[in-house]
Amino acid sequence: MLTTSPTGRHPPRTTEMTNAAPLREPPRLDRSRHAAPQVLDYLRERIIALELPPGIVLSRAELAARFGLSQTPVRDALIRLEEEGLVEVFAQHKTVVSRIDIRSAQQAHFLRRAVELEVVRVLAARADAALVKELRATIARQKIALEAGDYPAFVADDQAFHRRMYEAAGVPDLHAVVRRQSGHIDRLRRLHVPEPGKGSAILDDHKRIADAIARGKPDDASRRLREHLSGTLTWVDAVRRKYPDYITD
């Protein structure tokens, strides 16, 4: 008999972690910090990058061995990932990377849009030339990554572009809050970015946002930001058709 989750769902189709694509070696732990948050950050990044795709079984013992830790900090990291909806823990059975939940993605999109619309308005009201220079430098790095087909670097610079705006607006902690809620939509974006024309569209959007900030136009900055964030969810049906085992409603 199948074991069900607390929500009554059956475990998704699964693959053992050892049979997945090779997982990059974890970073050397900073022994001056608690281990569990470092394990959490590593696993979250690998899940969002789809190096640990939906349905992969995470072995607590194997992860503990990779990090050279006891299983306790690994367990604590997996509990946090479950709270973020990125894994499902089936008691006495297994821990599985969750499917991408469309409703969770929609709510994360709503939160991010609400916060970032205010962020860009604040920044455009200031029209800080030094900030605009930083944003344009990030866009230039993104362009290089896109031309090289280096999508991990492209996505990292995308995140850096948005994080810098939060920092410049004086609300860096809100960026962390939004990121913790965004695992499902971030995975949708990772599936979407390699599609023809998507990377170029992101670059164009970033340029328009930076230009609106430079010109001191809050309304235009908000409009450009809204357009920028609107794309991924309109592509959900195509993602579902292409990756049916990755998506759930």
Can you name the CATH fold of 15-98? Arc Repressor Mutant, subunit A (1.10.10)
Q: pLDDT, tens digit, for every residue of 12-29?
A: 455 555 444 446 677 777
Report the topology of domain 101-248: Four Helix Bundle (Hemerythrin (Met), subunit A) (1.20.120)
Give me the residues of the chain with pLDDT under 50, please: 1-12, 18-22
* CA dist., res. 159 & res. 207, Å (int): 15
Domain residues of the chain, as ranges? 15-98, 101-248
Let me know how many helices (H) and strands (E) the chain has, helices first: 11, 6
Give the CA count within 13 Å in the CB-facing half-sphere of 161.
27
**Residue 219: what residue type?**
D
Task: Give 65-95 pLDDT, tens digit per residue.
Answer: 988 899 999 999 999 999 999 999 887 678 9
Instruction: Write down the pLDDT at residue 159.
Output: 94
Query: Which among 87, 10, 89 is positioned nearest to 2, based on CA atoms?
Result: 10
Q: Could you tell me the sign of the dihedral formed by the alpha carbons of 206, 207, 212, 215, in that order?
A: positive
Q: What are phi and psi of 52, to 5 degrees?
A: -110, 90
